[in-house]
Structure 1
Amino acid sequence: MAKEEKLSLEELLEQALVKDEDKPYAVPGNWVWTRLGDITIITGGGTPQSNVTEYYNGGDIAWITPADLSGYNDMYISKGERNITKLGLEQSSAKLMPRDTVLLSSRAPIGYVAIALEQLCTNQGFKSFWPSPIYKPQYLYYYLMQNKKLLETYASGTTFLELSRKKVSQIPFPLPPLPEQQRIVDIIESLFEKLDRAKELAQHALDSFEKRKSAILHKAFTGELIRKWREENGLSFEKWQKYTVKDLVMNLNQGWSPKCENFPSIDYDKWGVIKTTAIQHMEFVEEENKQLPSSLEPREKHELKAGDILITRAGPRIRVGVCCLVKQVRPRLLLCDKAYRFRVNEKLVMPEYIVFALNTPSMLDEINLMKTGISDSGVNLTQNGFQGLKLNIPPLAEQKEIVRILDNLLANEQKAKELCNVIDKIDHMKKAILARAFRGELGTNNPDEESALELLKEVLKEKI
């Protein structure tokens, strides 16, 4: 058999460089577009037979699986849930990889990334990039983190998507000079540290508000919140009475969910059907709707009116039992069939009071226990179960005072929502920083530095 001819440096370079028409975007002049397979060795992993105890018991070789990176936010990893033995390593396709190897989960799911802090190996759910003089591992780490969607476009599979080593090798990679790689990593880490601190403070403030809100709601419906007010007005807690929801509600019904358009009804002349996401805890969001097709006649009996109380009755567990009062609503908006609507006997209870009561932590826990369904992805709240709930109801004068205090609390909740927006913006800012980093737009590039082309040539020379 004839020996395979080795390619010249020029031929290898021509293969390694991404053609102009295939470059994803422009980069500075001393950067080059190459492919991941041309900058380093890429290896897979393996799993020793699980029924052979000698492959695992007493093992001291770190063995990483994608499950070990689920919810894992650190850049570096040194061990997983399990170790394997030297024999387990030898009797499987797992490979011992050096410190600074970049690990990429290549299936179930694609896109977890970490850097090896010590020698370790992985199962077959990874494609790993060995250290190379051509790139900083932290630079590759951030690039892979930024490009999960790109990675998925190179994957294939019927049961689940998987990235093969061949496909991973073809993924384009913007290669700057080494000093620029380090500057990019430094500025990303500096900016991320500040953003993480801001996010931590915002999350702490949000958590503190939620704890205070839960405590106040608990006090409101156990009589503690207005104990002093009650004493000053000569009232007694003994006047509070237990009622079932059935005793209090009137006209309990559910709506209609025809096949709608995939866009909301913005024009008030067009009918819309609310989605369950229109019903949030103590808040109605009318924009969360789908437009009714013009070919369908609206069922006007399901049109929402100010004063309606809504509670979700079917859907994912976390979204069932969510209750709000419709304080105001646009015309031509219909109730969907995955929610109940009702009014209350206002001689006994204020609408605002019962909505607050149904949103207390203890009541939400009680509602959660009565949900029925095989899995958390689809549960139901039955009419009988809902109407059997028992509530503490004070005289109307006390209800008004409780509602007044809780309304003031909700006014402060707007600040909490602003904190949520801050947290979302921080996540978007991180993505924007990474996007700019790999375009050379962070203002750190030095055009006088030697081109990354020379780096690439040095690596390719080893293949000659």
Structure 2
Amino acid sequence: MIPEGWLDQPIGDIANVVAGGTPTAGNPDNFAAPGSEVAWLTPADLSKYKSKFISHGARDLTQEGYNSSSAKLMPKGSLLFSSRAPIGYVVIAANPICTNQGFKNFVFTEQVDSTYAFYYLKSIRDLAESLGSGTTFKELSGATAKTIPFRLAPLAEQKVIADKLDELLVQVESTKARLDAIPAILKSFRQSVLAAAVSGKLTEEWREGMQLPANNNDALRNKIYNAWLEARNAEFDRKGKQPKTQTWLTKFSEPQFIKSASLSWISLSLENIAEVVDPNPSHRMPKYVTDGIPFISSENIQTINKLDFNKGKKITNEELVKQKTRYEITDGTFAFTRIGTIGKSVLLPSPHEYGISHAMAVVTPYKTIIDSSFLILTMNCTTILKQATDGIQSVGVPDLGIGKMKGFKIPVPTLVEQTEIVRRVEELFALADKVEAQVNAAQLRVNNLTQSILAKAFRGELTADWRAANPELISGENSAEALLKRIKAEREALSVKKKPAKKAKA
């Protein structure tokens, strides 16, 4: 429904519809630097373009290029409407400008407010797309473009609608910009939480409240050291090695005490606190099948500890059997991406009915010294990620070697403090997740808000009170019907600016 007195007319009855043109693309003499010669526009120039007006595109045409093409110079105030790749971009010419053949341009008389027409054409983008035809890509033909319905309101009301939309949509864009900035803020917040966690700041007050005995740092460090020593010896036994073997002792270097009066932590290499395995040392790509066993890589990891088995490739059961001989997945085993995408972690679920890409390392923490959840959080903080990027070996696809990874320096508090750190981080991350969900919902609403406001505007809902207060501005000589008559009369006098005559050759 539209207000009484408004008219719906084919746009071809109200405006001249003018197509664009392109000179020979392979001739560099046809093109010039933007803003230097004849302004020229392509649909690509409008991708992510936010302004209402445009003065030129990424390239101008030279006079020679303009003369050799079918492009026509549109007068200032013309509506430039992309008719393919994609259909529906719209801007107002800020100055005389021409376009390529990917446009159907609308040249209105002064009886149609250009901003009003701009917003109306934005409001019917879906309709315009539905009118397109073609197999490779949809295109709006000149004949079809002329049939697009145009909603004609009285001229005074057009200006009121344009002003209201200017005001409202600026507010919408401002709100959208603030919402769009929040995900980066939340990402920074999560990293700040991790940084505080692995530096001891997150549990600083907790340690004070524990009322530990005097000289507790040395006592607790010794406790951690002894736990590490016990884990090391257990690893010796499991591997059938002896501590006296020099090469084996090199791996288990003595832990470093973190020099801090407030911390009772020690620093250990990753290989001292966890088994780190390459799941496919040959790095041969497995045979992929359509219907088989899930094969996980970085694309399956959504966020920390969130694994999506619906993505990625599939492998045969035979390939899975081979992988199972190389490593074991127990409670707390996780994967860490080390080729391509560096530094994404995910806890590996049981039972082990999936393959793992060689682009990931399989990490199994030694439970007597390190909590798996704490280690995963630590491996996702910026300090460890920096160690990862510093260890990249290739100049093409990022490749973090297993040996470099085993050398990561990990801060290790007592197990009881690790548990407290994990609890606090999860609590803060849950808060961030809640905010993120609210932001996502708000973004969906705001993204739909522009079209909702435009729809209301062109149903007359934004100006209902104005019409009631100004009946003289929408009736008689000011009515849309009288306006249409003037437009039809004036179109006879409207002419698209002619191309300058080609210069005669000397």
1:43 aligns with 2:60: no
Partner of 1:210: 187
Q: Is the 8 A contact 1:110 1:162 kept in 2?
A: yes
Q: Is the 8 A contact 1:41 1:130 kept in 2?
A: yes
* CA spacing shift, 1:359–1:180, aligned 2, 3 Å: farther
How far the C-alpha of 1:40 sits from its partner, in A, is: 0.4
1:56 aligns with 2:77: no
Partner of 2:458: 438
* CA spacing shift, 1:184–1:410, aligned 2, 3 Å: same
Counterparts of 2:152 and 2:2 in 1: how far apart (Å)?
A: 9
Q: Is the 8 A contact 1:39 1:134 kept in 2?
A: no
Counterparts of 1:277 and 1:426 in 2: how far apart (Å)?
A: 29
1:395 aligns with 2:412: yes
* CA spacing shift, 1:432–1:246, aligned 2, 3 Å: farther
1:460 aligns with 2:488: yes
Q: Is the 8 A contact 2:73 2:97 kept in 1?
A: yes
**TM-score normalized by structure 2?**
0.63
RMSD: 4.8
* CA spacing shift, 1:364–1:49, aligned 2, 3 Å: farther
* CA spacing shift, 1:186–1:463, aligned 2, 3 Å: closer
Q: Which amino acid aligns with 2:428?
A: L
* CA spacing shift, 1:55–1:207, aligned 2, 3 Å: closer
1:135 aligns with 2:112: yes
How far the C-alpha of 1:139 sits from its partner, in A, is: 2.0
- The answer for unaligned runs of 5 or more in structure 1 is 1-25, 261-273, 291-304
Matched position secondary structure for 2:467: coil
How far the C-alpha of 1:224 sits from its partner, in A, is: 7.5
Map 1:93-172; keep pairs closer than 5 Å.
Answer: 93-172=70-149
Q: Deviations over 1:286-336 (max 9, x none)?
A: 9x979xxxxxxxxxxxxxx9978678999xx88x97545599x9xxxx989
Q: Which amino acid aligns with 1:353?
A: F
Partner of 2:237: none
Name the % identity.
Answer: 32
- The answer for unaligned runs of 5 or more in structure 2 is 209-214, 222-256, 260-265, 281-285, 312-329, 493-506
Counterparts of 2:334 and 2:126 in 1: how far apart (Å)?
A: 41
How far the C-alpha of 1:348 sits from its partner, in A, is: 4.4
* CA spacing shift, 1:111–1:307, aligned 2, 3 Å: farther
Counterparts of 1:232 and 1:206 in 2: how far apart (Å)?
A: 41
Counterparts of 1:232 and 1:203 in 2: how far apart (Å)?
A: 47
Q: Which amino acid aligns with 2:445?
A: K
Map 1:257-268; keep pairs closer than 5 Å.
Answer: none
Counterparts of 1:115 and 1:386 in 2: how far apart (Å)?
A: 57
How far the C-alpha of 1:97 sits from its partner, in A, is: 1.2
Partner of 2:57: 80
Counterparts of 2:91 and 2:142 in 1: how far apart (Å)?
A: 18
1:352 aligns with 2:373: yes
Counterparts of 1:147 and 1:176 in 2: how far apart (Å)?
A: 16
Q: Deviations over 1:199-227 (max 9, x none)?
A: 34444455334334334434645777678
Provide the aligned length of Structure 1 versus Structure 2: 401
Matched position secondary structure for 1:46: coil
Counterparts of 2:204 and 2:107 in 1: how far apart (Å)?
A: 68
**TM-score normalized by structure 1?**
0.68
Q: Is the 8 A contact 2:53 2:91 kept in 1?
A: yes
How far the C-alpha of 1:257 sits from its partner, in A, is: 9.7
Q: Is the 8 A contact 2:56 2:97 kept in 1?
A: yes
Q: Is the 8 A contact 1:257 1:336 kept in 2?
A: no
Q: Deviations over 1:75-95 (max 9, x none)?
A: 111122222233322221121
Pairing partner for 1:410 from 429, 433, 443: 429
Q: Which amino acid aligns with 2:426?
A: D
Counterparts of 2:272 and 2:61 in 1: how far apart (Å)?
A: 58
Partner of 2:448: 428
Counterparts of 1:79 and 1:183 in 2: how far apart (Å)?
A: 28
Map 1:192-203; keep pairs closer than 5 Å.
Answer: 192-203=169-180
Matched position secondary structure for 2:23: coil
The higher radius of gyration belongs to 2
* CA spacing shift, 1:105–1:311, aligned 2, 3 Å: farther
Matched position secondary structure for 1:240: strand
Question: Which deviates the most, 28-37 or 236-245?
Answer: 236-245
Q: Is the 8 A contact 1:102 1:130 kept in 2?
A: yes
